[in-house]
Structure 1
Amino acid sequence: MAFFPMLCCGKGLDRKRKKQPTWRIFSLKELHSATNSFNYDNKLGEGGFGSVYWGQLWDGSQIAVKRLKVWSNKAEMEFAVEVEILARVRHDNLLSLRGYCAEGQERLIVYDYMANLSLLSHLHGQHSVECLLDWKRRMKIAIGSAEGITYLHHHATPHIIHRDIKASNVLLDSDFNARVADFGFAKFIPDGATHVTTRVKGTLGYLAPEYAMLGKASESCDVYSFGILLLELASGKKPLEKLNATTKRTITDWALPLACERKFAELADPRLNSNYSEEELKRVLLVALVCTQNQPEKRPTMLEVLELLKGDSAEKLVKLENHNLFKGPNSGDYNDGMSVAEDSSDFASGEKEHGKEDKEEIIPENAQI
């Protein structure tokens, strides 16, 4: 098939950030050999797209191979979008494309292998008991992820919205550097456009309200999702907490009242054993909560988020701490309810890593929100 005409022309590539590495077309035979015929023991994870396998090429380099589960026109489009975007963008905090394979109905994307898997695996999955994420690493992940998303929003040409920022899409290399991954839902934003209206895709708990309800996707939706991710990273809690059989509480409904009372220590992940910078913890939590305001126009841009996380401006940090949002729970920036009813829509199940399930609820295209 005639595949991705824009891949070879190089338009829109930003070469200032990182020397462009090469990518290539892999043969199916080569990827079968690298993954031991997609052996179950090589499986790293499973999501809505399909399964991801560890592999080793003939030169000894390690790769991760994402294999399309079932071929369909919709899956083909997501595959094409991800390859197109990965071939365009190059940044130290975005997952690099090694290549792809499109033979018959097989669709595979090849990436660099990330030795420490995903942030999800460390917060809620197979590595969560090991407590490998000390506070220094969490700050590194927060800032690195913000760098990657900032590149997409402000430096890539055209600008890109990710639409599925979440813990399972932040991968970690051997040094715990963050790499934002999975661009199957991503959208290009035309110059001058404030948003694009599209079918809702993403993961329950991370979706900005204007996107979940109206399908309005913008950079601000990614900011909202990133705010949820920051709360998750700092607290160790999931975006949605089940209170009973029919009710879930959002992480923001739990965190905002405590932040208003300046009880930041109660928001910290207990696994940190109080070994963290109080100033940095407060900064991360406050930034997260201003990112998750209901009104998109009140959220900061990713450039502003990055500056705040780095603590570059003392003046802006003071302004952040005095934000109206933290003067009380009735500031109007969040829903009045302290919990949300569990949606009964037919959600697809979420992430599995090495056979251990960490369920996330993925919004299919035709779901009624």
Structure 2
Amino acid sequence: MPNAVPKPTIHLINGFMNENGGSEQEALHLARLLRDRSDLTLWSPSARCSPELARRHGIRRIGLGAGHRPNGGTFVFVGSHWRNKLWPYLTRAPQRLIYVFNTFHPKLLSLTATHPSMLRWPRTEYVFISEFQRKLLGVDGEVQPSPIDIVQFSPAPQQRPTDGRPVVGRLSRDTLDKHDLDDIALYRAWAGEGAEIRLQGATALRAATGETLANAPAIHILPEGALPAVSFLHSLDVFYYRTGAHVETFGRVVLEAMACALPVVCHRRGGYAEWIRHGENGFLFDSTDEARGLVSTLLNDRALREAVGKQARRTVEAIYSDEALRSRADFYLRGAR
């Protein structure tokens, strides 16, 4: 019997600091794509690595001792980089060096594009999570949408009741740059039209605006991670999304909402906009007035919400079909040893 071909060695590196962080979730989903087809190890270079994530997923802390650092194979950095670390000088160089670049910060391009000659690392290969991001950075590379588990993020098992208030909501990391302060007036307006507003990951918004939202009984503000993302999305009828200073290179949460068959109403600025066909599988807006009108229309038209939500789900199923996922995984396995 011929010897089995050994699986390629892949070291996937991320800070793994925040259980609810998009970068961490992206790394874990990528790990699921690669695990069965490679000898995969998850690594964190950070002292702030989440103990719970490390326990649950077998993540190893990078150290200086033998066996405590990536060694050969393919290095895949997801939202992380190696600079100002000693361990790369003590390990065998990778055959391939891949950066999943899920940020807009041009400074990180210069940090990752070149390496000290004594490292003898190969040329950096970039994976961008949207064409929007790649064009803004002006760098060649692979474009792959951030992976999403569409089995986990799926339509609610039963329809929401028709006799209650329709619910508008959004989900994000709990930082002020994830919010646009102009949205406060929209939340109050939609609540005034009879909707319930649920904002998870918005305590920073409440803190920044004092009593502005505190006395609105139909507006509910939850801290980040208060409910599992799927459970929270299943409680909504309309998903609304706009950020402030933060620019979404992809916007995983928007695609997760679409996977749950929700109609999404989103600011046009972001990588997620590439997948939204306005009026068919979601809605895009440029101004606050446009956002208000679009959501108000959906609040008063259940049939429209359902029709657009079904198209949103079909879109996500096509993006994350088994064939599409296998093709994306092939990129990481190419030429690996």
TM-score (norm 2): 0.28
Structure whose alpha-carbon radius of gyration is higher: 2
TM-score (norm 1): 0.26
